[in-house]
Amino acid sequence: MPYLAREDGNPSAPLKPDDDAINLFAWYSSLRESLFAKRHRIVPITNGYKLFFQGNAEIRAYRDHEEDRTGEDLRAFIKLEARRCPFLTLELSKEGPFFVLTLTGAEGTQTWLKKDYGL
């Protein structure tokens, strides 16, 4: 499956985020909050999670007057999150009407994600 975006993590990096790695942390936090409000479904996978986000057609049904930026926002989030959490592998794909953000890493990543992402 072709990825819309992908950032490979370093599985030997410690499971500890580096918030100082992001210059505009307030903007990152706002972006993350906005995106996570669009989460449709969460699926646990080996050493991580798949997060399904509303796709274009589903969002347009609610907001005909707004341009959907979910895909672009997820790409920006992936670049920032790869800096903040170098231990994560982040992949963005499209499955039907949904954008799918896959987050994986070394052993213990799923537990960390559950806590940090509130899953």
Q: Taking CA 79 as the corner, what is the angle to CA 43 and CA 41, rounded to the nearest 5 degrees? A: 15
CB 110 within 8 A of CB 48: yes
In which residue are the tokens 């669009």 written? Answer: 38
Torsion angle (degrees, nearest 10) of CA 21, 88, 31, 97: 160
Positive or negative CA dihedral for 84, 15, 91, 26? Answer: negative
pLDDT along the chain (119 residues), means of 10: 83 87 82 88 94 66 57 90 93 90 93 88
pTM: 0.83
> Can you give the pLDDT at residue 58?
45
> Can you give the pLDDT at residue 59?
44
Instruction: Identify each DSSP E strand in 46-116 by its residue range.
Output: 48-53, 89-95, 98-104
